[in-house]
């Protein structure tokens, strides 16, 4: 297996832990808090801003909500007959946005009452992102990105991109929006006067993650690499050597670490000091198949990872050689979410099992 590497500029050692080793076989189990069966293939998972409600979307187009503490069902409704593509809770309590393969986005309350129904620019609304204050919803549909109010009024939209949009994200202030598609990324300043910056490159970014400090935007590329863009200097760099497309990316709370999938190994890159250029990442080796989901705790340093091997692992990113804690599902892990106080970790698999584990600090 080829390990991910970054551009020249220095060097460092990497650490690893393999689940098949004697140390890995002694991984501590996660304690299950509750689980439920969605009754359909699951496509999306998100937790409300305060962490009290979990929402899941299904291939059949249903959305269901549950109390995150107990798994008690709260509501379910048919939202998108073509299937749910994405879910996002707003920081305004409690509004849920969903995008579907019926070409629409919906904004609902916690009971499933539709407040706004928004037509996309293609047969599917694949990408959603609330502004940090919860006042605006950004959509990526086809080759157009647009921004909408909670009431369903169009506030702004881009011209058509050259190819379909593959990801979008806000900065922490809600003043800029980044989009990506085949051929690179574009950064839009929202407001007056508007401004657009471009980062062109050959290749197709398929996921994007903006650092909490707003300093760096990372992209996972179809060409089995991760690219990052330093906004202060305009410089970009590429980390290559992944055995599959790194579709899972996650920053820790202070932006000092970036976790990337792209293999059964998780690469943990340090952005302390001069950054990862010329260094090797820490390799977290515990899954037996491709990593499909990553999520850092909201405030601390634990990292959750999910995989095609149906396992969920919880790592201490400060001490990567510590034994991870392990939980199991019944199919590929498609979503992970921590509660706001990090006392529970929720995961959904492709078969529709939603499970919560106790994760005390």
Q: Report the DSSP beta bridge partners of residue 197.
A: 187
* CATH code, 267: 2.130.10.10
In a domain, 165, yes or no: yes
In a domain, 4, yes or no: no
Residue 3 — pLDDT band, cuts 50, 70, 90? low
Predicted pLDDT of residue 24: 43
Predicted pLDDT of residue 9: 39
| pLDDT tens readout for residues 158-203 | 999 999 999 999 999 999 999 999 999 999 999 777 789 999 999 9
In a domain, 52, yes or no: no
Q: Domain span at residue 353?
A: 22-42+119-358
Q: How far is CA 238 from CA 40, 184, 186, 241, in A?
A: 38, 13, 17, 10
In a domain, 218, yes or no: yes
In a domain, 35, yes or no: yes
In a domain, 308, yes or no: yes
Give Cα 244 distance to the centre of its chain: 17
Instruction: Report how many domains make up the chain.
Output: 1
In a domain, 261, yes or no: yes
| pLDDT tens readout for residues 20-63 | 333 344 579 999 999 999 999 999 999 998 889 999 999 999 99
| pLDDT tens readout for residues 302-346 | 999 999 999 999 999 989 889 999 999 999 999 999 999 999 999
Q: How far is CA 270 from CA 53, 213, 337, in A?
A: 33, 14, 23
In a domain, 252, yes or no: yes
| pLDDT tens readout for residues 111-123 | 999 999 999 999 9
Predicted pLDDT of residue 195: 87
Q: Using CA atoms, how far apart are residues 247 and 135, in angstroms rounded to an integer?
A: 28
Question: Is residue 45 a contact partner of residue 356, using CB atoms and an 8 Å limit?
Answer: no
């Amino acid at each position: 297996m080829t390990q991910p590497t970054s551009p020249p500029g220095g060097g460092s050692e990497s650490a690893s832990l393999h689940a098949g080793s004697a140390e890995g076989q002694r991984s501590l189990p996660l304690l299950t808090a509750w689980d439920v069966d969605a009754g359909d293939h699951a496509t999306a998972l998100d937790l409300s801003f305060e962490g009290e409600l979990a929402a899941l979307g299904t291939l059949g187009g249903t959305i269901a909500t549950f109390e995150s503490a107990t798994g008690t069902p709260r509501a379910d409704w048919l939202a998108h007959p073509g299937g749910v593509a994405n879910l996002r809770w707003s920081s305004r309590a409690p509004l849920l946005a969903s995008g579907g393969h019926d070409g629409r986005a919906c904004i609902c309350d916690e009971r499933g009452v539709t407040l706004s129904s928004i037509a996309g620019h293609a047969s599917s609304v694949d990408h959603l992102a609330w502004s940090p204050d919860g006042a605006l919803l950004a959509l990526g549909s086809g080759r157009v990105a647009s921004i909408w109010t909670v009431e369903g009024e169009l506030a702004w939209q881009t011209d058509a991109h050259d190819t379909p949009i593959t990801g979008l994200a806000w900065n922490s202030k809600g003043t800029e929006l980044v989009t990506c598609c085949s051929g690179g990324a574009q950064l839009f300043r929202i407001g007056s006067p508007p401004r657009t910056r471009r980062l062109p490159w050959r290749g197709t970014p398929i996921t994007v993650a903006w650092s909490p400090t707003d300093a760096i935007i990372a992209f996972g590329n179809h060409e089995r690499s991760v690219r990052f863009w330093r906004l202060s200097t305009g410089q970009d760099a590429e980390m290559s050597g992944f055995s599959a497309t790194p579709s899972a990316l996650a920053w820790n709370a202070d932006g000092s670490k970036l976790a990337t999938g792209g293999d059964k190994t998780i690469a943990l890159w340090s952005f302390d000091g001069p950054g990862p250029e010329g260094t090797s990442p820490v390799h977290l080796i515990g899954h037996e198949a491709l990593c499909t989901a990553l999520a850092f705790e909201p405030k601390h340093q634990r990292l959750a990872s999910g995989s095609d091997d149906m396992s969920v692992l919880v790592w201490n990113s400060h001490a990567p050689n510590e034994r991870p804690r392990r939980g199991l599902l019944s199919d590929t892990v498609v979503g992970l979410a921590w509660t706001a106080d990090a006392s529970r970790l929720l995961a959904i698999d492709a078969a529709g099992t939603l499970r919560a584990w106790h994760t005390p600090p």
